[in-house]
Structure 1
Amino acid sequence: MSDWIGHECGIAAVRLLKPLDYYIEKYGTAMYAVNKLTLLMEKQHNRGQDGAGACAIKLDMPPGEPYIFRTRSADKNPIMAVRNRMVKAFADAREKNPEKMNDGEWVKNNVLFAGELLLGHLRYGTHGAQGESFCHPFLRQNNWMTRNLVVAGNFNLTNNNELFDMLVELGQHPRNKADTVMVLEKMGHFLDEANDFLFRKYRKEGLSRMEITDKIIQELDVIRILKKATRSFDGGYVMCGMIGHGDLFALRDPSGIRPGFYYHDDEIVLIASERPQIQTALNVPVESVKEIEPGHALVVKRTGEVVMKEVNKPLEKTPCSFERIYFSRGTDKDIYQERKNLGRSLVRRVMDTVDYDLENTVFSYIPNTAETAFRGLVEGVKDLVTERTKGQLLQDGGRMSAERIDELLSFQPRVEKLMTKDAKLRTFITADADRNDLVAQVYDTTYGIVKPNDTLVILDDSIVRGTTLRTSILRILDRLGMKKVVIVSSAPQIRYPDCYGIDMSKMKDFIAFEAAVELVRDTGREELLEDIFMSCLDDEEKPMIQAENQVKKLFEPFTADEISKKIAEILTPKGMKAEVEIIYQSIEGLHKACPNHKGDWYFTGNYPTPGGHRVANRSFINFMKKSDARAY
């Protein structure tokens, strides 16, 4: 993606179902769980580089012995820092007592992080706050084992203000309105409530306090706690948690917006944000990795029992399509094919744009996440070439010369890698007065391939703000001297903010929104902006459940092609010699390529929750007020 946007976070969890001695004997290491957890984290490093953290819980530790261990890092390489700290605990023990490292009970009792439950997290900070204290997992501590709560997740909640008020009504005094605080304290409150209920129940029956603790461990109903805690949540989420006595859970939002997968056998349970990472970690086939169902929680009880039950009534399933276009790694077999299909679906429109003149058209892409979609585009173009060749051969009726046949059969589309990102220059750039000039040089290009009469087709997987195109890419390409450049986006026009985990909260930053506003003004419809503004203000006064996306009205007077034409006009640098055209994926093409991931609210404005509509309206209000504030 030429425009950088922030990933959602990533989660990883491991639950060992056998004694530690089992893994030492079978796999030759006491670090089996740590290795699997950190491998899952590293394989998902694309989901967040702002920080990382891990927490371990040991089962059945005697009173007075620590049983919860956590480490977090916001260093330059946070995953490695977290792993090194965990590994160091084992290395130190091995150095002092090498003969004891094959004794699972000794390792568990003497080595930090040698637990049966491990939870890891990769952080991308959508609110800009950085530092170790902002890294998951978060810990709510208590002297009672069954009240200790560890939580990490990939989520954004749209109704933090409402949740804050609920906590205040419960008598709490939250330290801020961050969604991580809301989640931890809502879950913690109902965890405490469940503990209190069971304590009172068995106290009336005359059990001792220690006996009651054992009863609570056996009977604590995690599903019931999650139902109570999350019924007011509005947003996209996969949340993982551990309770001090040994229950593990992973919870997914009712619309299935954020992804979550799991695997389990008689040895281990693994949970992760992406499917192929679990396949890699355990070398298991794709069909053995299951999806956590929307609105459900996967619970691994302290006993090792694995269940998945409904927590919130599932809504229409609308998984985030950006996972398929860009965020998730393309090693998933379905995602790989879907990205190729996104490219293939653009073939006819691209060919119409270049008048089917393949002799004078060069195809390329902006590295490197667009490569798979580009392969699909090129394969589709090659199929058209094959059809054309076949038609000419049939039409000739056998009278064509051998030379002409050779010419037809040997023809291939002109495919070149023309742009390369200079990663070293990116790290060299600083926030000084010359920064903009340096940013314009981040991409290098290959000279001497493009001819003056050529049209250059460049595929990008999405055009969000258009900043890099405007300040860098188009200027560099213009030096090649072609007559025309066509920028092709494998994603549709991004018109609305995301509020479920992706850092796209300010509508004014989107080039499609900017283009629509300019078209409104060009066509003398300025009153439309004020009408939408007033409608958004009115919407703020309604209960959230009644929220409607008022910003859709902005785009209704214009076709997608009209907006694309205006985008090309806005992004064309002053003095550029080559003609610029921009082609976007259609909504229909997106859904055909990714049939099972129809979460398209950033393109269509059709949010799966009322909070999404409210965020879109607030974002427009901020635009009209010239405020740079976030909309949630």
Structure 2
Amino acid sequence: MFREPQEQKSCSFERIYFSRGSDASIYRERKQLGRLLCPQILEAVNCDLKNTVFSFIPNTAEVAFYGMVEGLHKYIKKYQKETLLKRADKISDEELEEVLSMAPRVEKIAIKDVKLRTFITQDADRQDMVSHVYDTTYGVVKSGEDNLVVIDDSIVRGTTLRQSILRILDRLGPKRIIVVSSAPQIRYPDCYGIDMSRMGEFVAFEAAIALLKDAGLEHIIDETYAKCQQAILDGREKKENFIKAIYAPFTDDQISGKIAQIISPKGIHSSVKVIYQTLDNLHKAIPDHLGDWYFSGNYPTPGGNKVVNKAFMNWVEGKNQRAYV
């Protein structure tokens, strides 16, 4: 007896974060993730390239950064062409020079002092470590005038941003810090080998819960928990991911906005905006690896639904333990 062929659902997040960046296909995919973010970034800075500095959070975001820069150059070439072709009158040398000299202001702002990965560091050590990992480059951001765009490979917990990076970047005096994630919002736990199984650690989940409370929709939390409990009693805990209901009332932008509030440290002067990759663009960038359960909650096996429901129940019950233990 043969099983029907299934759609390949190999993990896309592994390729964004864990895989060797020197692999040719990984390199192309990460660059494409950066390119595809350009429309959102340009909208966020109102296409003001003159007063925007672009950088990345080292080290794994560097390749996506190169793709982002290529996308910015493509936008500039299009702008230059359209501007010059639309001119009915003779353009002055000064105006021509201004148009032709357009270029993104690309700088290495954040410097990682040691080769450490804060995401995979032990929980007890992470908070102390992040304050010692990063330094920054001074003298390239115009205080009070510039936007500062920094791209990261992903924002899982937001710990490094909240406790270290945003404070460091704020010292440079940008009027606005725009943090860009090459991955979509990580909303759901993993159960296939990466230790990401506690719901309360995801900043996207934290944001969704905060939005529910802000909107007076706490009953959705209780109803979701009740559905998880009933599914266990009925032997249906593997049938459905009930936790999608937590995110359902809100748009991606609403959740990103709340994340920006959550990760903004008290006392900083710059405003903070967070931009995430879209699911559609994730699939465009990584078309051969469609496993997106971290972001969509669509698990490739029934066991994934069981883990996510259990992870949510653990969070409600105050149990700080892995959902597959």
Q: TM bucket by the smaller chain? A: over 0.9
Letter in 2 for 1:365: F
- 2:312 aligns with 620
- 2:111 aligns with 420
Residue 626 of structure 1, CA deviation: 0.3
Q: TM-score scaled by structure 1?
A: 0.49
- 1:326 aligns with 17
Greater shift, 360-369 or 403-412, is seen at 403-412
Paired residues for 1:544-563 under 5 Å: 547-563=239-255
Gaps of 5+ in 1: 1-226, 228-309
Residue deviations 1:196-241 (CA, integer Å, cap 9, x gap): xxxxxxxxxxxxxxxxxxxxxxxxxxxxxxx9xxxxxxxxxxxxxx
CA distance, structure 2, for counterparts of residue 595 and residue 483 of structure 1: 37
- 1:132 aligns with none
Q: Classify 1:580/1:357 alpha carbon distance in 2 versus 1 (closer, same or farther; 3 Å).
A: same
1:365 aligns with 2:52: no
Asked if the contact 1:544–1:610 (Cα under 8 Å) also holds between the matched residues in 2, the reply is no
- 1:473 aligns with 165
Indicate the SS of the match to 1:541: helix
Indicate the SS of the match to 2:31: helix
CA distance, structure 2, for counterparts of residue 492 and residue 436 of structure 1: 24
Gaps of 5+ in 2: none
Greater relative contact order, per chain length (Cα 8 Å cut-off, separation 6+): 2
Asked if the contact 2:231–2:237 (Cα under 8 Å) also holds between the matched residues in 1, the reply is no
CA distance, structure 1, for counterparts of residue 21 and residue 115 of structure 2: 25
Residue 537 of structure 1, CA deviation: 1.0
- 1:90 aligns with none
Asked if the contact 2:237–2:309 (Cα under 8 Å) also holds between the matched residues in 1, the reply is no
More strand by share: 1
Asked if the contact 1:540–1:614 (Cα under 8 Å) also holds between the matched residues in 2, the reply is no
- 1:607 aligns with 299
Greater shift, 439-448 or 359-368, is seen at 439-448
Q: Classify 1:381/1:514 alpha carbon distance in 2 versus 1 (closer, same or farther; 3 Å).
A: same
Residue 500 of structure 1, CA deviation: 0.8
Letter in 1 for 2:299: Y
Indicate the SS of the match to 1:549: coil
Q: Classify 1:450/1:498 alpha carbon distance in 2 versus 1 (closer, same or farther; 3 Å).
A: same
- Identity among equivalent pairs (%): 55
Residue 402 of structure 1, CA deviation: 2.9
Residue deviations 1:476-499 (CA, integer Å, cap 9, x gap): 000001100000001000000000
- 2:187 aligns with 495
1:630 aligns with 2:318: no
Asked if the contact 1:445–1:476 (Cα under 8 Å) also holds between the matched residues in 2, the reply is yes
Letter in 1 for 2:33: L
Q: Classify 1:587/1:435 alpha carbon distance in 2 versus 1 (closer, same or farther; 3 Å).
A: closer
Residue 316 of structure 1, CA deviation: 2.2
Asked if the contact 1:487–1:583 (Cα under 8 Å) also holds between the matched residues in 2, the reply is yes
Letter in 2 for 1:626: G
Indicate the SS of the match to 2:150: strand
Asked if the contact 1:544–1:611 (Cα under 8 Å) also holds between the matched residues in 2, the reply is no
Determine which of 44, 51, 69 is the counterpart of 1:353: 44
CA distance, structure 2, for counterparts of residue 356 and residue 435 of structure 1: 36
CA distance, structure 1, for counterparts of residue 31 and residue 101 of structure 2: 24
Residue 341 of structure 1, CA deviation: 1.1
Residue 328 of structure 1, CA deviation: 1.1
Indicate the SS of the match to 2:272: strand
CA distance, structure 1, for counterparts of residue 17 and residue 190 of structure 2: 15
- 1:340 aligns with 31
- 1:573 aligns with 265
- 1:88 aligns with none
Residue 611 of structure 1, CA deviation: 0.4
Asked if the contact 2:238–2:303 (Cα under 8 Å) also holds between the matched residues in 1, the reply is no
Indicate the SS of the match to 1:573: coil
Asked if the contact 1:488–1:583 (Cα under 8 Å) also holds between the matched residues in 2, the reply is yes
Residue 605 of structure 1, CA deviation: 0.5
More helix by share: 2
CA distance, structure 2, for counterparts of residue 581 and residue 389 of structure 1: 28
Indicate the SS of the match to 1:512: helix
CA distance, structure 2, for counterparts of residue 559 and residue 446 of structure 1: 35
Greater shift, 534-543 or 360-369, is seen at 534-543
Q: TM-score scaled by structure 2?
A: 0.93
Letter in 1 for 2:35: R
Letter in 1 for 2:294: Y
CA distance, structure 2, for counterparts of residue 488 and residue 505 of structure 1: 24
Residue 379 of structure 1, CA deviation: 0.7
CA distance, structure 1, for counterparts of residue 316 and residue 155 of structure 2: 23
CA distance, structure 2, for counterparts of residue 434 and residue 334 of structure 1: 34
Determine which of 297, 314, 317 is the counterpart of 2:8: 317
Residue 441 of structure 1, CA deviation: 3.0
Residue 526 of structure 1, CA deviation: 1.2
CA distance, structure 2, for counterparts of residue 545 and residue 464 of structure 1: 26
Indicate the SS of the match to 2:132: coil
